[in-house]
Amino acid sequence: MTESSQIPRRSLLIGAAAASAAVVGAGALTPGVASATAPATKSRRRSTEDPFQLGVASGDPLPESVILWTRLAPKPLDLDGGMPPTDQEVEWEIATDEAFSNVVQSGIAAAPASHGHSVHVDVQGLTPDSWYFYRFKHGGHITETARTRTTPALGAAVSAFTFGQASCANWQSGHYQLYADLAQQELDYWIHLGDYIYEYGAYDPKRPDKGGYVRDDKVAHREIPWGKEPVNLPQYRRQYGLYRSDPDLRALHAQAPYSAIWDDHEVDNNFTRRKSGGDGQQDRVDFRRRRAAGFRAYWENHALRVPPTDGRRMRIFRRVDWGSTATFLFLDGRQYRSDQPGSSTSDFGGWDEGMFNPDTTMLGPVQENWVSQQLADSAAKWTFIAQQTVFSDVNGGAAFDNPAALGLSKGLYNYDAWDGYWAARGRLIEAIATNQVRNPIILTGDFHTNLAFDLLSEYPDPRDYPTAADLTTAIKAWEGTKIGTELCCGAVSSPTFFGSGIVAAAGPGTLRNTPWAAYGELQNNGVIVNRVTSESVEAEYRIAKTNYKRNTAEGRPRTDKTVVIEDGVPGVAEVK
């Protein structure tokens, strides 16, 4: 937290018994000035049901601006959210105090039916590095009071600030106590690295191959009331209605602004630029239309500084600066990526020649050029590259002296991660090195595992070694040049990949035999609390088994380890 701008949270923390929720926004971006009003044709009729069931949010802060966001949905589990097919109006106000005795701006924003009755208000003209309180009103109902903040002025020195890191929040496989834990951490900001929702329908233990996503215990810890995956816009809106109704997620959104990027489950597992993920359920509509519906719903249900979209394409890569101390680059590693190597869309397999195809891309040429330019332009002390999948090389076969004896003659790689896109990883490494980025830190989600890596300039190429055993030997002895760090948060509630099978057997040995793996915790869900100063970044790994309730020893959030990164020293300096 920026020391000069701390304020108490007091009554802002919202538990499961919160009296009212807030609105999540979409609609055209409206300048947040007091005179901003919506067209007079829109309704502000009184309603008997609370329309703010989904909570409020604020996002993508700038020194003088922040996006306020809400969505009207008195019945969020209905396809129409319980709203009539007419445009609505929502009042909003933002103040410097929790009692709203000093309202600095207010206005009326449109909640169009075509955008799921969501609202985005771009409030401008705010004071840099300052906290504010905001709320919405509609139909005689008022949201809970939430807080937000602006970033420090460009180039301003910042003594300290704290941001959270989260990803992968599957509804059925666990609870959201790690969101609640983040809400207690006095965050200035937080980021979500994808899989904010999952596309799965209800898990049926009698037909486990027909949908749903649960842990090895084969139990849906929280039920989804419908059986099939969403494929159209109303169904995706309903999926967000379920997820956003959770009180722990609402509490976190009410505490601090955030920025989000998608991964695959916001549309379909392992989808790429050209095709569906092929996760076992046949698409019931053309995939391009399905993807457009997923993209539109994503925009409607997040506080993004991104223009409205018809869903055919949506640029989400962008930048947030925190004074002279930090730059955040948010990447899209899903929409533009080439198809995975090999002939299947399974996550894991032996090395494949397609992994090394120089023409494949994770980010696409336009975004690659943008990233390189941002790295060249950034003068911040810390550069955080927020993206989806594990960047560092991880070969599960390295767990064993003779991998071939276990059927791993070509090792064990994650095709969905950067290991499946060797040349694309090399180009980003080159951009970091060429631009002499001072302290590059890659922020990762997706892998459902608590990890930290030394970021290297080069990794062992499996094609260079005659056997898998030779490759294991090379990995154990590898002394690559450190150029930065990678921090990978576990999942909020999704299952760990290390529950059973060959992947579980490979996990501990892989960490032990991989010199650039500085930290790993394989059995718990997790989030990260990153505390940033001019001298260091301390990444506190908060863990829990979220298939247990928070009042149990297993389900209680707690600190596992803290990873320390020092200014000017590439890689992990200490794990304490």
Domain ranges, ordered by start, for the chain: 1-150+198-205+213-257+264-315, 153-194+316-576
Report in angstroms the alpha-carbon separations of 353 from 215, 459, 464, 469. Answer: 32, 16, 12, 19
**pLDDT number for residue 48:** 78
Give per-residue pLDDT as tens, 71-85: 999 999 999 999 999
**pLDDT number for residue 210:** 64
Angle at 394 between CA 556 and CA 338, to 5 degrees: 105
What are the residue ranges of helices labelled H in 8-110?
A: none
Copy the structure tokens of residue 110.
């449109």
Specify whether domain 153-194+316-576 bears CATH 3.30.70.20: no
**pLDDT number for residue 345:** 64
Give per-residue pLDDT as tens, 337-390: 999 887 666 788 999 999 999 999 999 999 999 999 999 998 999 999 999 999
Amino acid at 436: Q
Among the listed residues 138, 177, 141, the one whose alpha carbon sits nearest the alpha carbon of residue 25: 138
DSSP sequence for 222-278: S--S-SS---SHHHHHHHHHHHHT-HHHHHHHTTS-EEE---STTTSTT--SSS---
Residue pair 260/24 in contact (Cβ under 8 Å)? The answer is no
**pLDDT number for residue 205:** 78
pLDDT at 274 exceeding the cut of 50: yes
Which residues have a Cβ under 8 Å from the Cβ of 256 and sit 6 or more positions away? 58, 147, 148, 149, 164, 187, 188, 189, 190
Mean pLDDT of 55-70: 98
**pLDDT number for residue 224:** 94
Question: Is residue 179 packed enough to be buried (19+ CB in 10 Å), middle (13-18) or exposed (0-12)?
Answer: buried
> In which element (H, E) is residue 95 found?
strand 88-95
User: Average pLDDT over the chain, rounded to whole?
Assistant: 90
Pairing relation of β-strands 413-414 and 348-349?
A: antiparallel
DSSP assignment, residue 43?
B
Residue 289 vs residue 7, higher pLDDT:
289
How many helical (H) and strand (E) elements, i.e. helices and strands, does the chain have?
8, 25
How far apart, in Å, do the first and last CA atoms of the chain sit? 21
pLDDT at 28 exceeding the cut of 90: no
Q: What are the two backbone dihedrals, phi and then psi, of residue 162, each rounded to the nearest 5 degrees?
A: -130, 130
Longest dimension (CA), the chain: 73
pLDDT band at 27 (very low <50, low <70, confident <90, very high): very low
Amino acid at 484: G
Among the listed residues 356, 447, 433, the one whose alpha carbon sits nearest the alpha carbon of residue 396: 447
Angle at 349 between CA 262 and CA 498, to 5 degrees: 70
Residue 178 vs residue 227, higher pLDDT:
178
What are the residue ranges of helices labelled H in 343-495?
A: 365-377, 422-434, 468-476
DSSP sequence for 501-525: HHHHHHHHHHHHH-TTEEEEE-SSE
Interatomic CA distance for residues 347 and 417, integer angstroms: 8
Specify whether domain 1-150+198-205+213-257+264-315 bears CATH 2.30.300.10: no
**pLDDT number for residue 213:** 82
pLDDT band at 283 (very low <50, low <70, confident <90, very high): low
Residue pair 22/52 in contact (Cβ under 8 Å)? The answer is yes
Question: What angle, rounded to 10 degrees, do the helices at 468-476 and 501-513 form?
Answer: 40
Copy the structure tokens of residue 157.
């020195």
Q: What are the two backbone dihedrals, phi and then psi, of residue 375, each rounded to the nearest 5 degrees?
A: -65, -35
Interatomic CA distance for residues 443 and 3, integer angstroms: 24
Give per-residue pLDDT as tens, 396-444: 999 999 999 999 999 999 999 999 999 999 999 999 999 999 999 999 9
DSSP assignment, residue 472?
H
Among the listed residues 88, 142, 95, the one whose alpha carbon sits nearest the alpha carbon of residue 115: 88
Among the listed residues 146, 140, 90, 75, the one whose alpha carbon sits nearest the alpha carbon of residue 120: 90
DSSP assignment, residue 171?
S
Q: What are the two backbone dihedrals, phi and then psi, of residue 475, each rounded to the nearest 5 degrees?
A: -65, -45
Angle at 39 between CA 35 and CA 44, to 5 degrees: 90
Give per-residue pLDDT as tens, 503-515: 788 899 999 999 9
Amino acid at 335: Q
Interatomic CA distance for residues 169 and 378, integer angstroms: 32
List the beta bridge partners of residue 441. 384, 485
Report in angstroms the alpha-carbon separations of 399 from 352, 395, 480. Answer: 19, 8, 19
Which residues have a Cβ under 8 Å from the Cβ of 572 and sit 6 or more positions away? 452, 453, 454, 485, 518, 519, 563, 564, 565
pLDDT at 395 exceeding the cut of 50: yes
Mean pLDDT of 257-267: 97
Report in angstroms the alpha-carbon separations of 340 from 15, 262, 269, 276, 372. Answer: 42, 18, 12, 11, 24
pLDDT band at 108 (very low <50, low <70, confident <90, very high): very high
Would you call 162 helix, strand, or coil by DSSP?
A: strand
Give per-residue pLDDT as tens, 229-245: 999 999 999 999 999 99
> In which element (H, E) is residue 565 found?
strand 558-566
